[in-house]
Structure 1
């Protein structure tokens, strides 16, 4: 993102993107099935998986990860 040095550049670059574009690139939502499916389809050469909460409930995200998602993702390795 170093080429998008300020909000004006970011806005211009993202103006044509749609929600469907995002859904094709990212797993969005609290579904452990879709998240683990997406992770399974990731190329095996990747060693690190980053999960990010973009919503207002960081504690809920961590609870979801610990209680539902962590074990599913560990079995992928």
Structure 2
């Protein structure tokens, strides 16, 4: 699953990708290197939104094997 948003506030769209079968999600910031973030086991979907109203995009990731959700608050990434 992928989600699109401006995660680093450079006015360019970036891509968040969940890696099923792993314990992380990746962010593709334009043409820069991939940034990986830890989540629970077997993440399979991601939603992007400003969940805490700080004007930064956050990610909510559903973890299949753990039956829970990781919320990754955005701080410019």
Fold shared per TM-score above 0.5: no
* TM-score class normalised by the smaller sequence: under 0.3
Rg larger in structure: 1
What is the TM-score when the length of structure 1 is the normalising length? Answer: 0.22
Taking structure 2 as the reference length, what is the TM-score of the superposition?
Answer: 0.22
Q: Which has the higher strand share?
A: 2
Richer in helix (by share): 1
